[in-house]
Structure 1
Amino acid sequence: MEFINTKGRAPWMELAESIAKEMKGCKEGKEPMYSNAKKYLQYCGLKTKPTDGENGPWCAAFMNWVIGQTINPKTNMPYNHAKSASSLAPTHNLTKDKYKQISEPIYGCLVVYKHIKEWKGHTGFLYGKTKSGRYILLGGNQDDTIRFDSYGEMIGNVKKIHGFYVPKDYEIKDQDKLTDNDIYESAKILNIKFGIIAEPSTGKTN
């Protein structure tokens, strides 16, 4: 699959939205979400099952697969990304040439959370913010599916926000910056809008 976004903002987001609509909140243990999540892990070179909570978290695999299908019109190649299922890939020395850290969050950027004690975390695409200032992420493996959820500076008491990133070859445009149009009452409103069947979030990200 090769995908070229024509909307102008973070070009990988149109594909991410499309998949979220297609999955409709289907859980990772059921089809078609199981096969899709497995495909994302395989893209990253892993044979683990997405239902394996310890070895099969696929939040980063989903993001990198989406970016990997999105063509940079200047290079006619996918935007820079690592074929990695690690949510902390943007921070790794071996893959830091694939991403660049940005000081202010923008629409579609990768929001990376790091576990306060362990070398793991969570990541998702920034879709907007709630009126209370929480980050709304469109992400994979959020309550075992692809859905919108909102998080603060911490997820639970163990995962703390580490930074914001974009593919290194992506040129940020003015329209990528967050505006009042990116502020929502809650993530629930977006799940309803996109036809995602989602019960209240439990905060589960593995």
Structure 2
Amino acid sequence: LIAGSGKTKSGHGPSTAPPPGMAAAKPPAASAPPSPAALLRPKVVSPSPPPAPSGIRPSDSERSKEGEGKVLALINPVPGRAPWMPVAIAEAKLRRGELEITLQDKINYHVEVDDGLKAMDGPSNAWCAAFVNWCLMQAKYPIENLGYPNRKVAKARAHGFYEVDGPKEKSEKTPPKVRNPLFVELDRPIYGAIAMVTSRQGHGRHVGFVYAKSGDEDLILLGGNQRSQIRFSAFAKNLRTQVMVRNKNGKAEIRKSGSSSYLKYFIPIAYYEQSKKDLVEPGLNEENVVSLNLILGIPPEKPGGKKGGLSEDIS
């Protein structure tokens, strides 16, 4: 399954200079073994996570609008984990795959998080990061680095969960790239982690929430701007090479799809202590993307239909 909106949205190149005391992150090789179960910054001291919000909006219908009686609550948040996930799931149920061109008339996530953009539709208005930040904001987690330059537009960038423009010295002409202090990177995924789809060069191209596994090599993300909708989509965990074989008629066929991107994982720093417990049992079940989207009223792709590409970060 190829996930995304199919739009190409430009992005800036990644920084190569890590903040003091931290090693530069390197994209994993295609043949690299699974990451160790350790956090990259184990010495971070953080406050306790805020409580789950009490005003999360439920779906406007507890059963499918097609009259089939499918209980929408089959897609449930995991109790006691990732307080922003009930928000994301409730919003996905409420919006039921509505496309961005009409969805923005009901809610505009760019405007909601005040990232400076005014529209969701169009090749320069990727809203995946705005949706993630909106869910975090509803769950009472901070999303903006006060006092930082370009702090608003950072909320519209997938790469902004990893790096942002930091405060600059008087002698510096441009702000230095620094790790976003609001988020901690994990070595491996847990339920509700913010997953950044990352290019070979290390730049974030898309972002969503980790929801489940899809086989051994893919994760299912719940996110916005995935084919211009809020929906479930599968993404490769690691870089991988496409494998071609010849069938009995001698025609070349794809045996295994390749991936030019991989996933990096983040959680709010206020959730750090809880994430250490979550890593013991990541809470990721095996699920089927088509089945999950059908519960939201999103039909499967038609055979031979045009498939969308990745949603891209904005400049």
Alignment-derived partner of residue 264 in structure 2: 163
Partners in 1 of 2:101 and 2:127 — Cα distance?
13
Alignment-derived partner of residue 158 in structure 2: 87
Question: 1:190 and 2:287 equivalent?
Answer: no
Task: Please give the secondary structure, in 1, of the residue aligned with 2:158.
Answer: coil
Question: Between the two proteins, what is the percent identity of the paired residues?
Answer: 26
Question: 1:205 and 2:311 equivalent?
Answer: yes
- For normalisation by structure 2, the TM-score amounts to 0.54
Alignment-derived partner of residue 73 in structure 1: none
Contact in 2 for aligned 1:121/1:159 (Cα 8 Å): no
Task: Please give the secondary structure, in 1, of the residue aligned with 2:101.
Answer: coil
Structure holding more strand per residue? 1
Question: 1:59 and 2:125 equivalent?
Answer: no
Gaps of 5+ in 2: 1-51, 57-77, 145-151, 167-178, 241-256, 302-306
Question: 1:17 and 2:118 equivalent?
Answer: no
Question: 1:50 and 2:120 equivalent?
Answer: yes
Question: 1:129 and 2:231 equivalent?
Answer: no
Partners in 2 of 1:68 and 1:202 — Cα distance?
29
Greater relative contact order (CA < 8 Å, ≥ 6 in sequence): 2
Residue number among 69, 79, 85 corresponding to 1:7 in the alignment: 79
* Change over 3 Å in CA distance of 1:198–1:62 after alignment to 2: farther
* Change over 3 Å in CA distance of 1:97–1:25 after alignment to 2: same
Partners in 2 of 1:137 and 1:92 — Cα distance?
21
Alpha-carbon displacement from aligned partner over 1:53-98 (angstroms, at most 9, x marks no partner) = 1x2000000000110010xxxxxxx223236010011211446111
Alignment-derived partner of residue 74 in structure 1: none
Task: Please give the secondary structure, in 1, of the residue aligned with 2:161.
Answer: helix
Partners in 2 of 1:56 and 1:118 — Cα distance?
21
Gaps of 5+ in 1: 71-77
Q: How many residues align?
A: 191
Alignment-derived partner of residue 35 in structure 1: 105
Q: Which has the larger radius of gyration?
A: 2
Partners in 2 of 1:128 and 1:202 — Cα distance?
21
> Which stretch shows the higher mean deviation, 160-169 or 14-23?
160-169
Partners in 2 of 1:118 and 1:90 — Cα distance?
13
Contact in 2 for aligned 1:127/1:137 (Cα 8 Å): yes
Kindly report the root-mean-square deviation, in angstroms, between the aligned alpha carbons of the 2 structures.
2.8
Structure holding more helix per residue? 1
Contact in 2 for aligned 1:113/1:159 (Cα 8 Å): no
* Change over 3 Å in CA distance of 1:114–1:131 after alignment to 2: closer
Contact in 2 for aligned 1:113/1:163 (Cα 8 Å): yes
Alpha-carbon displacement from aligned partner over 1:143-178 (angstroms, at most 9, x marks no partner) = 000000101135997852251000011132535743
> Which stretch shows the higher mean deviation, 147-156 or 42-51?
147-156
Give the partner amino acid of 1:89.
G
Post-superposition offset of 1:116: 4.0
Partners in 2 of 1:164 and 1:120 — Cα distance?
11
* Change over 3 Å in CA distance of 1:203–1:17 after alignment to 2: same
Partners in 2 of 1:44 and 1:158 — Cα distance?
33
- For normalisation by structure 1, the TM-score amounts to 0.80
